[in-house]
Chain A
Amino acid sequence: MTTLDLVEINRIKQQMKNVRNKEIQKRKKLIQKVIDLMNQGANVSSLLPEMIKASQTTDLAQKKLIYLFLLTYSSKYPKTALMAVNTFARDTISTFPSIRGLAIRTMSSLNNPELLKLIMHHVLRSLKDPSAYVKSITIISLIKLWKVIPDRLNLKQINYTLYELLLDNDPQVILNSIQAINTIFHGSGGIAINSKIISHFLNRLTSLSDWGLGVVFGLISKYAPENEKESLLILNQCDDFLRHENSFVVLSAAKVLVNIIQDLPNLKIQIFQRIRDPLLTLLSCTNQETNFVVLKHIKLIANQFPQLFYKDYTRFFLQQSDLSYQTNVKLDILSEIVCSTNVQPIIEELSEYVINSEKKQDLSRKAIFSLSKIAIKFPKYCQSILQALIAFLDLEIDYIVEESIIVMKNILQILPTAIEMIKKYISQISKLLINNDSNSESKTSLIWICGQFGNEIEKSPYILESLIHDFDKLESCTKLELLSSTLKVFCIRPAECQSMLGKLLQLSIEDQNNVDVLDRALFYYRILQTGIKNVKLIVSKNFSPEKITFQEKDGELLDEELLDEFNSLSIIYEKPYSQITHNYRILNQEKSDESESDSVSEKEGEELEQESESEQESDIENENENENENEDSEDDTVINIDWECNPQAILLPNDFQKLWAQLQVSKQISIDFGIEIETGELIEQLKEGNVLTIASGTIQQTIKMFCYAQRINDEDFMLMEIIINNETKIGTINLKSTNKQFTFEFSHYIKTCLI
């Protein structure tokens, strides 16, 4: 704050003292000045007493400004702010509803428990105010009070009053009452949803505001109708609102339809048919942001019922003004809604995006990828797609060629027969790729094709040879592919390949930087020494094409799950919301169910164990947490733990270190402690279970410990690293064992030790 400000503030202070009651305009100007200073970041708190004094005015404009001032400073200077109580009290019985409303809204917003306790009864009294405006403000104020001083409120009484207010005539009062019940009684499930309440709302739909409609439809969508007649009644009522101008209302009504069909599965497609038209209207009439959200919803529906959109494929063609987030979803939808009547125009359109994307590489690549998705999903259109891909080659644009070859490889893995179409062009592609600094993925794909189809592609040995020539420039994954592909071709056409295979093996073995490549080269070399027969055996085993799956089955499950969250943010992220906020979820879970919170995942951890751990650690954590939910049910079954620890186990620190370095993590466990952990206590706790701590330390909020245990009457050791984050109160245990078969039992043992 500058001295200039200070001078100014003092000047205002003097003037405010001197100004007489009648000089409304003068005072208003002064107050305005104070607010301006406040907005500029100056500390004007010294004016608090003067402002409170001025708050006795009856001028609404001045009052608003003063209240704004109070809101800013009351929490910092609670004692001085108490002076304002009288003004507030007087305002709540003012004859003007606008002043009553303002007073109640402002005083309930003061985040000051002491003050709130004093004025609480004014708020409660206003629930019976004759003005609907004041009443609706008061209901929201109840929520504010509940947040700050929940124990002072008579919740039973409030519950009763709020349910009574649901019968009010004013739509805003009804809406706010719903919101208040849902917030204050969230713990007991919010508003009671029964046929009585639902039919009450259904009768009043037309009088509600747009927001009210959305909220009420949200309630109805949670309601399970008692019989088919009731379902149809609700369906008809909601149907009228699908033609509403407000997209929120339309989608909320649509959600009711989506939820009701779970009881009427035979109507499913008709219902989506009904939703389709309003969605398309919204798609064409709204601004870009809403358009994007509508697209995401259409994508979800198109995944399940592509037939609904067969005719409308041109609607998903790109427009000049489309932004990148829109184009991505549109391409996804286009590759989803392919059928025999529209496949040709869709392929042509996608091809246009590839060629004429005006230097937007992302769009080009994405379009090529969409083409491959169509080819893999509908093999019957494979031919036309490959033709399109081949046509791109003539353009000689690097990234297009790169992306095309990767896609061709993906297609060949599913449909090996397609090689007949491609084989003529492979040498052309290889020329384009090898001469340029193309990315390793495209080169690897080319090598794979050459190796896999050594017979069909006449020039494959020569392509490989030219790549061997540039061996030093390749990346290790490409080198590995080169090794196995050359070997494959060697088996088919030994005469042409003998010398180059020799050269390649030599290069690989000399390549000291890369252990993997060296390893594989030596392996091949030794097999070759045992004779060509064995090589063929290995190569033929290797020959079965790896399948690329788009996880169709999981996708369907996911879609079902997402349909439950129709018209929510999860649709945008294309994941159930619980997965997105797993960190927050774990914290919340602790309250609801402690026994479930320490669930452990097994499969995921073990699969990942084979990969290098250091890199994957963070990933494992994520994966594990994602898995938690699915595996909760498994953990519910009581497991008999057959494990006892050797109380006299001894492992010297040096030996521990050696073992730790040798072993791989066999399991990862995450535990939610829910309370702050103290290192000393934990060591004692573990010792009781005969798990001994070898080292421990704390960095900021994170505790790190190394412990070990030995099974009684056994030689095997269990080693573990315990990391506890005291901020999130979540612990992670990395378990290593000299005998993996005990991992499972021990992991349960350690959990019982810790909790």
Chain B
Amino acid sequence: MRGTKKREIKKKHSNKIPDELGLYLENETLKYKISNEISEKTKTWQVLFNKLKDCTLDCPPIFYEDGVNYIVVNAKKLTFCFTTVSNLSPFYLLELLRSIITLIKDFCGVINEQSIKQNFAMIHEIIDEAIDFGFPQNTQSQTIKKFVCNEPIILQKIPSSQKLFSTKEKKTVSFQATNKSIKNKRKLLQKKKNEEIYIDLIEKIVLQFNDTGEVIRSELNGKIQIKSFLKTPSHLKIGFNKLIIGPQDEKFNYMEGIIIEDCNLHRNCDVSRLDRENIIKIIPPEGEFILMNYRMSGQSVKIPFRIFPIIENISKTMITMKLKIHSDYAEHIYGSSVLVYFKVPDEVISLSYTIDQQKKNEQGSQQVKFDKNQRKVFWKIQKFFGECEKHLFCNLILKSGIENIKKLKSQIGPICMEFEIPSHSSSDIKIKSIKTIPLNNLNKKIKNPIRYKRNITFSKSYFMRL
């Protein structure tokens, strides 16, 4: 977000028109226009630029200036903007803008400055089909695909290391595997396995501990995201373990299963067989879509990491701290890029630490750093296997002449964590089976498409107050 801001401002100053790229949608009731030039003439850009530049904090997603409403969405370090003069629904505007972004992603494979630049003509076509004179038309990739003539130019990617990885284990593919266009005919025809479907179970945890280690807030936001490259229209049946959708009432207590507090579903989604057979059915549209968003809270959220901080001693010269983190998930999986950080008082001048290495081969996988400008201590753990503990002892050395020890203590913390744990779901929801059945059974020759499923748990906000 910050990065975008900076870059955009830089563009403005450089004033090299042909190199600039922008995408904005302008309106009367909602007229759109793609511009690849940022010139003085286009007022929308100017207002948007000034706003991005002037906002000391974050630019609000919706603002009003000179009779025009601006709706700004940031996606992958790019800024997309809609303008309108009417009092429309903000959800409508945001959803429409998001669906345009999804469309561009479906066709280009990835969204970044370069892919948009290279596929400008195609994006023009897409938006022409999706919005006509400000009125939304069909915004489904599948339908639009018929009317788009330009072939996407796909950016080169996939570093060699990842390729090695995917040949080693045939059943997995790299994370970027879904970064491909739904409309790349030639490439797909060459390969035999042109029917693929990816099902992702993505969960984000919000957890907050108080100073005694008690959980005062635990929430889980999950989504099941599907990216379908199926060419033959088929039914998709996804089997889960026992799910119960409903609020946490007493009446559910005797039922076994995972209780989902509330969820919303894709419109084509059929959950009538969820109760008895634990199956969700859908005829998946092509491209990326969300099958289901769900949320849980309280005790049904499994806590992946527990934090045990002990502030041993605060003197006028030094603070001694001990930090223990315990992982609470299956032994064979590991959290990657686990980052633990906490703020220290302004008076801290340096840090000495010891890390407790459990196994010798793990050496070098942990790093501790003290950032003087941000006044934060960072502790990075490359691989954090389940069912184990990591320790950090640190001595924070203070500059001399401090009297207010009470103040010092209040300035430590909170201890925050960022992590991602692949193949783990904190809700315990599991995808047990994926089946596809072609709609018209006449075509029995078609092979079963390749189905991928992925599980991942992210931290959204994970911290403990001291």
User: In this complex, what residue of B is CB-closest to A578?
Assistant: B87
Cβ contact within 8 Å between A280 and B262: yes
Indicate if B98 sits at the interface (CB-CB under 8 A): yes
Max count, chain A CB within 10 A of own CB: residue among B147, B343, B465: B147
Partner of A569, one of B58, B62, B98, B133: B62
* Cα of A140 to Cα of B146 in the assembled complex, Å: 20
On whether the beta carbons of B407 and A395 are closer than 8 Å, the reply is: yes
Given A105-B132, A247-B91, A284-B295; A323-B1 close (CB under 8 Å): yes
**Interface residue stretch chosen among A75-83, A285-293, A380-388, A669-677:** A285-293
Q: Which of B259-296 contact A (CB under 8 A)?
A: 262-267, 290, 292-295
Tell me if A577 counts as interface (CB < 8 A to partner B): yes
- Structural contact, B57 and A362, CB atoms closer than 8 A: yes
Residues of B within 8 A of A518 (CB): none
Q: Tell me whether B29 is interfacial, beta carbon within 8 Å.
A: yes
Q: Give the segment of A207-215, A592-600, A659-667, A697-705 that binds chain B.
A: A207-215
Q: Does B400 contact A (CB under 8 A)?
A: no
Interface mask (B54-93 → A, CB under 8 Å = 1, otherwise 0): 0001101110100101001110000000000101111110
Given A140-B132, A317-B217, A245 contacting B293 (CB threshold 8 A): yes
* Chain B residues positioned under 8 Å from A136 (CB to CB): 137
Nearest CB of B to A605, in Å = 26
Stretch among A225-233, A248-256, A422-430, A451-459 lining the B interface: A248-256
Task: Say which residue of B147, B223, B414 sits within 8 Å of A98 (CB atoms).
Answer: B147
Query: Quick check: is A550 within 8 A (CB to CB) of the other chain?
Result: no
In the assembled complex, A568 has its CB within 8 A of some CB on chain B: yes
A183 / chain B contacts, CB cutoff of 8 Å: 29
CA of A143 to CA of B462, assembled, Å: 52
With A and B bound together, what is the CA distance between A148 and B302 in angstroms? 62
Complex Cα distance, B89 from A356, in Å, reads 36
Asked whether B53 is an interface residue with its Cβ less than 8 Å from the other chain, the reply is no
Tell whether A572 is near chain B: CB-to-CB under 8 Å.
yes
Decide: A214 near B89, CB < 8 A? Known: A284-B221, A345-B216.
yes
Is B89's CB under 8 angstroms from A580's CB? no
Kindly state whether residue B371 has any CB partner on chain A within 8 Å.
no
Given A214-B89, A252-B89, A320-B461, A285 contacting B295 (CB threshold 8 A): yes
B293 with A281: CB separation less than 8 A: yes
A210 to B411, CA, bound (A): 49
- The stretch among B117-125, B180-188, B193-201 that forms the contact with chain A is B117-125
How distant is B231 from chain A, measured CB to nearest CB, in Å? 20
Q: List which A23-65 residues lie within 8 A (CB) of chain B.
A: 32, 35, 39-41, 60-61, 64-65
Q: Is the CB of B264 within 8 A of A358?
A: no
A109 to B295: give the CA distance in the assembly, Å.
45
Residue in A35, A321, A345, A581 whose CB lies within 8 Å of B121: A35
Complex Cα distance A281/B294, Å? 7
Point out the residue from B96, B265, B411 that lies within 8 Å of A211, measured CB to CB. B96
Partner of B406, one of A280, A281, A292, A394: A394
Contact between chains at B62 and A60 (CB < 8 Å): no
Q: Is there a chain B Cβ closer than 8 Å to A160's Cβ?
A: no
Q: Which of B61, B89, B293 contacts A289 (CB 8 A)?
A: B61
Q: Are the C-beta atoms of A282 and B264 separated by less than 8 Å?
A: yes
Closest A residue to B146 by CB, please name it.
Answer: A98
Question: Which B-chain residue is minimally distant from A106 (CB atoms)?
Answer: B128
B138 with A315: CB separation less than 8 A:
no
Closest chain A residue to B210 by CB distance?
Answer: A348
Q: Which residues from A are CB-within-8-Å of B136?
A: 211
| In-complex Cβ contact of A137 among B91, B132, B217 (8 A) | B132
- Size of the chain B interface, CB-CB below 8 angstroms: 78
Q: Which residues of A contact B95 (CB under 8 A)?
A: 210, 246-248, 290
- The answer on a CB contact under 8 Å between A568 and B90 is yes
- Taking CB atoms, residues of chain A closer than 8 Å to B91 are 247-248, 250-252, 290, 293, 567
Q: Is A623 an interface residue (CB 8 A)?
A: no
Cα–Cα distance between A211 and B131 once the two chains are bound (Å): 11
Measured CB to CB, the closest approach of chain B to A355, in angstroms, equals 5
- B205: min CB distance to chain A, Å: 11
Indicate whether B114 reaches chain A with its CB closer than 8 angstroms: no
Interface residues on chain A, number (Cβ under 8 Å): 82
Chain A contacts of B94 at CB under 8 A? 247-248, 289-290, 293
Interchain CA distance A323-B124 in the complex, whole Å:
32
Shortest CB distance A310–B (Å): 15
Nearest-Cβ distance from residue A579 to partner chain B, whole angstroms:
11
> What's the Cα separation between A41 and B72 when bound, in Å?
26
Q: Is B208 an interface residue (CB 8 A)?
A: yes
Q: Is the CB of A244 within 8 A of B264?
A: yes
Question: Which interface residue of B57, B87, B293 has the most chain A CB atoms within 10 A?
Answer: B87
A280 in contact with B264 (CB, 8 Å): no
A245-B89 contact, Cβ under 8 Å, with A210-B95, A285-B221, A314-B216: no
> Is B36 interfacial (CB-CB < 8 Å)?
yes
Which one of A143, A277, A396, A577 contacts B407 once the chains associate, using CB atoms below 8 Å? A396
Task: Check: A278 CB closer than 8 A to any chain B CB.
Answer: yes
Q: Tell me whether B89 and A251 are in contact (CB under 8 A).
A: yes
Is A179 interfacial (CB-CB < 8 Å)?
A: yes
Query: Are B262 and A281 neighbours in the complex by a CB distance under 8 Å?
Result: yes
A270 interface residue, CB < 8 Å from B?
Answer: no
B364 interface residue per 8 A CB criterion: no
With a 10 A CB-CB cut-off, give which of B17, B90, B206, B414 has the most chain A CB atoms. Answer: B90
- The residue of chain A having its C-beta at the shortest distance from the C-beta of B376 within the complex is A358
Q: Whole-angstrom distance between the alpha carbons of A494 and B60 in the complex?
A: 55
Q: Does B165 contact A (CB under 8 A)?
A: no
CB–CB A572/B62 < 8 A: yes
A287 near B62: Cβ-Cβ < 8 Å: no
**A570 at interface, CB cutoff 8 A:** yes
With known contacts A251-B91, A319-B206, A325-B58, A281–B413 Cβ distance under 8 A: no
Q: Are the C-beta atoms of B267 and A568 separated by less than 8 Å?
A: no
Q: Does B219 contact A (CB under 8 A)?
A: yes
Q: Residue of A at shortest CB range from B29? A: A183
* Shortest distance from the beta carbon of B140 to any chain A beta carbon, whole Å: 8
Bound complex: CA A209 to CA B87 (Å) = 22
How far in angstroms is the closest Cβ of chain B from A189?
16
CB atoms of A140 and B87 under 8 A apart: no
Report the separation of the CA atoms of residues A175 and B132 in the bound assembly, to the nearest whole angstrom.
12
Given A39-B36, A245-B290, A352-B465, also A569-B69 (CB < 8 A): yes
Q: Which residues of A contact B (CB under 8 A)?
A: 32, 35, 39-41, 60-61, 64-65, 68, 98, 101, 105, 109, 136-137, 140, 143-144, 172, 175-176, 179, 183, 209-211, 214, 218, 243-248, 250-252, 277-278, 280-282, 284-285, 287-290, 292-293, 314-315, 317, 319-321, 323-325, 345, 352, 355-356, 358, 362, 394-396, 565, 567-573, 577, 580-581, 583-584
Besides A61-B149, A396-B404, 6 new A-B residue pairs in contact (Cβ under 8 A), listed by A number: A61-B150, A137-B132, A143-B135, A352-B465, A568-B90, A569-B69
Q: 9 shortest A-B CB distances, which residue pairs?
A: A319-B461, A61-B149, A324-B57, A285-B293, A289-B61, A314-B217, A323-B58, A284-B221, A577-B87
A-B pairs with beta carbons under 8 Å apart, 17 shown: A32-B121, A137-B132, A176-B137, A245-B267, A248-B94, A250-B264, A287-B98, A289-B72, A289-B94, A314-B217, A319-B460, A320-B462, A321-B460, A324-B57, A394-B404, A565-B87, A573-B64
